[in-house]
Structure 1
Amino acid sequence: MVLLHSTEGMSGAIRGELHKMMELTYYRQRRDINATPPPPLSELKNSWPYLFCLKGIFLHFHLLTGITLLQRVMESIEGKGKRILRFFQERPTNREAHAVLSKYQEGNSLVLCILQLLMAHFKERTESLLIEADVAATAADMERNGLPDSPALIFQGESMTPSKWMLSVESEVVFGPCSEAFVEGLAALFATYYNLNLAYQDEAACTLEFIQRGIVGINPETGSKVAGKRDKKMKVMNPHVCTLLRKLMDFECHLKKNNNN
């Protein structure tokens, strides 16, 4: 894979044999990622370059969890996304969520709107996970301006209609600019936490756990990926996330009841 990348770059990812190569070397990938102390990002990129392209990101996540992530996220957004939006439209939970809704129009990115609504609802700092950038900005521009240490999704274009996106990890752009659908950016962002064995940062922990449980459907009875809690007894679920999920279930039942009537 290193040789393939040296000759063909990231375009080598389209080769059919990449899946087999990723599968055969999966144990070594996990060994390197989980080494103590953790390896520098530059070392992982040199050793496993295709861990940082869309195909490689999703392949590794599937080998790790058994979940076809992009399909799962797309189906979940298609099935639940509009209901989540309608819930906030009919029952805005705070002024921050209302402000997000005031900018949303038909035809805008539903995925981006949902992410912003979740962060507004949980009163989390948007810039800890989502960074707005000029459509002409390059990866080097973003790195010069400073990026968070935790994984972040950079969206370029209008505030609710991104035309491109980038993925950053450890203050470095590792993928993009990319013109693929923004839902792929969300899936790649989420996969990065699992692939690289990273904890959710406190500033976006509720939003990320909601994505994990409410959109991806990973629901461990114990354990948490929130930073700073590894040595403590884990809660079954973040209570704020649990409350919102319960309210959404009640809202869905209410909609079904009205439709039946």
Structure 2
Amino acid sequence: MTKQEVELIIFKVSAEGQDAIHMKIYKNGTTCRYGVGGLPQLGISGMSFFNSSKFFDAIIAKVPDEVLESPSMYEEETPNGSLEYVIAFYGVSKNGDTGERAEWTKSTGIRLRLDRRTQFRHPMLSLADSLTMDATELTNEWYFDVVLNARYNVLSSTLPQETIITQPKTEAEIHQHFEWYINQMMTSSRKWSMANFGENKTYGREGRSYKGDVQQDDKSFAINFSPLNDSTAPADKKPWWKVW
């Protein structure tokens, strides 16, 4: 394949049957994701239809041409538990669709199935890990708003109008998965910060608009939702805040 032919990139990292991260990034702007890169597997997922290929363009630019020339696969025995990296590239649709209904005629990619205590040190592992982490970082702020919607029922002004969010059925489960999400973000190897994710946007809930102020340090995370036009807000709603 060539970069010009690629229309979809899929990333998946899994361990012992659980997905640590799963993403689909389409050239047409469709973006799907659940997970941060850690375990347990998160049950909050989002699919948004962006009118932009910004995520796709940033990732495909980092893919070496030789990766697309032929598939790269490696598999070893996993007596200590398995860790699997998958990066798949798809393109050239035979039915004209370049989204979820596409029938791709070309594909290639990377698949590495490793033991949790592997001694495998091939450059392909470093590439798979760095590309996956780069794609995760690019979509972190968008996924943050997806998770907030599931947890607090607030709609970010920067989420595309066409966004589908799925989540666990009960409030207790949603709260648990939200805690897992925060933990995984705060303990990421790249030390991701959510502190700026509330900037330059508003959050809507029940017909009101709120400003989301995120506070994070090495040990704690908090988000404070303050109503806009504060002088007109009922006293018992100033501010509405949540702390994890």
Note whether the superposition's TM-score is higher than 0.5.
no
Query: Larger helix proportion, structure 1 or 2?
Result: 1
Query: Larger strand proportion, structure 1 or 2?
Result: 2
TM (normalized to structure 2)? 0.29
TM (normalized to structure 1)? 0.28
